[in-house]
Amino acid sequence: MTEDILISTEIADRIYKVRVKREEEEIFRKAVQEVKANIKDYAKMYAYKDKQDLLAMVLLQYVTSYIKIKDDNLFSDKALVTKLEEIDSIL
């Protein structure tokens, strides 16, 4: 059984407490550092009223990347299915 741990982290001047599985702690901490770095980069490039604006831009960046990857994988899966059907018909 996996043990959950409580992690407290600060993102965009707000504290968040999150429960994660112990084996996912390293990935979670890397994700937090990546988000913080992207917020910092956006802060240098754009004018903003508060850090929540920057957080929203980072979120859009990640969701856009996620959708592209998801769509590419879906396309690849369809191509794979087509090829497998061709092989099946040959056999």
Per-residue pLDDT tens over the stretch 30-56: 999 999 999 999 999 999 999 999 999
Q: In the prediction, which pLDDT does 83 show?
A: 80
Query: Exposed, middle or buried: residue 48 (CB in 10 Å: 0-12, 13-18, 19+)?
Result: middle
pLDDT-derived band at 64, boundaries 50, 70, 90: very high
Q: In the prediction, which pLDDT does 1 show?
A: 62
Tell me the C-alpha distance between 32 and 89, whole Å.
49
Q: In the prediction, which pLDDT does 79 show?
A: 75
Q: In the prediction, which pLDDT does 80 show?
A: 74
pTM: 0.72
Domain boundary assignment for the chain: 4-90
